[in-house]
Structure 1
Amino acid sequence: MTENDSTPLILLVEDNPGDVRLTQIAFQDAGFDVRTHVALDGVEAIEFLEDEEAPCPDLILLDLNLPRKNGFDVLEEIKSDSELRQLPVIVLTSSASSDDVILSYEQHANAYLTKPTNPGSFVDLIQSLGEFWIEKVRMPSYS
């Protein structure tokens, strides 16, 4: 959790405004009280994570197909940084490519989820994600 607020902070790295809104609504519909910071591309995501004034996210949801810096590059940068590597990074993408799955795990993604096209299925996916990563997982405290 972040130092000033016990509400989990999710860094959502997603360039599609429709998917951003769908993800935010899915968390609400699934009954999770979360704060969301949106980075519209990989460069914004890394800038947020390196900003000493910004709160540390509890979970990162990372799309792969991003402008300026793709999700693989963001993942590699996070997992190679000694101060960031402990952050859980969930790849949440429309790609079902086995090559993308393999590369994501090789770069130490904590999970790989393919976005369902049906909004109801998307809410179900976010419900499962939240139950595990928000309610069940215990992360180390670095404060």
Structure 2
Amino acid sequence: MLQDRLRINLTDDDVDDRLFFEEAINDLKMNTELTTFCHGAELMEFLNANLANKPDLIFLDLNMPIMNGMECLQQIKSSPLLKDIVVAIYSTSSSEKDIEDTFIKGADIYLTKPSSFTELKNAIQRVLKMNWQYHTSSLNKENFLLRV
């Protein structure tokens, strides 16, 4: 039996980063369905309107206008209907404070945006193939930050 498509949301205000990410996902040739958003308010509106068809995984940039990634993360993790969605922080920031804050607020993994296409593809593939049930049951600061 074929596994259902992995539904992925990417929220990032940088159009080039969205295109780069989409190209990497397509290159992996995995059974995925990617939906992209420009800012957190757009993502939250989509999530709340599509509760029956929630994504399996959200990649969330931190620094965005209108509603940033930290605000989004808080809303997702405080919602009884959304809190179980896996959230991967996907940011240029490698600040210890950002990593610590997102860990405390319930993100499942932190990925600093890689500088090369190959690194990006490898990082996305690692995240997509992760056993989330196992990963989140033993989540600690050491396995929270994905090192590329």
Q: TM-score, normalised by structure 2?
A: 0.83
> What is the alpha-carbon distance in structure 2 between the residues aligned to residue 77 and residue 35 of structure 1?
23
Which letter maps to 1:84?
L
> What is the alpha-carbon distance in structure 2 between the residues aligned to residue 130 and residue 31 of structure 1?
12
Judge conservation of contact 2:51–2:81 (CA < 8 Å) in 1: no
C-alpha root-mean-square deviation of aligned residues, in Å?
1.8
> What is the alpha-carbon distance in structure 2 between the residues aligned to residue 127 and residue 54 of structure 1?
26
> What is the alpha-carbon distance in structure 2 between the residues aligned to residue 98 and residue 53 of structure 1?
33
Runs of 4+ with deviation above 2 angstroms: 52-55, 136-139
Number of residue equivalences: 132
| 2:114 is the alignment partner of 1:116 | yes
Q: TM-score, normalised by structure 1?
A: 0.85
Which letter maps to 2:9?
L
Instruction: Please state which structure has a larger fraction of its residues in helix.
Output: 2
| 2:99 is the alignment partner of 1:96 | no
User: In the alignment, which of 113, 124, 127 is matched to residue 125 of structure 2?
Assistant: 127
Q: Which segments of 5 or more consecutive residues in structure 2 lack a partner in the other structure? A: 135-148
Higher relative contact order (CA 8 A, sep 6+): 1
Q: Which segments of 5 or more consecutive residues in structure 1 lack a partner in the other structure? A: none
Q: Which residue is equivalent to 1:20?
A: 18
> What is the alpha-carbon distance in structure 1 between the residues aligned to residue 16 and residue 52 of structure 2?
25
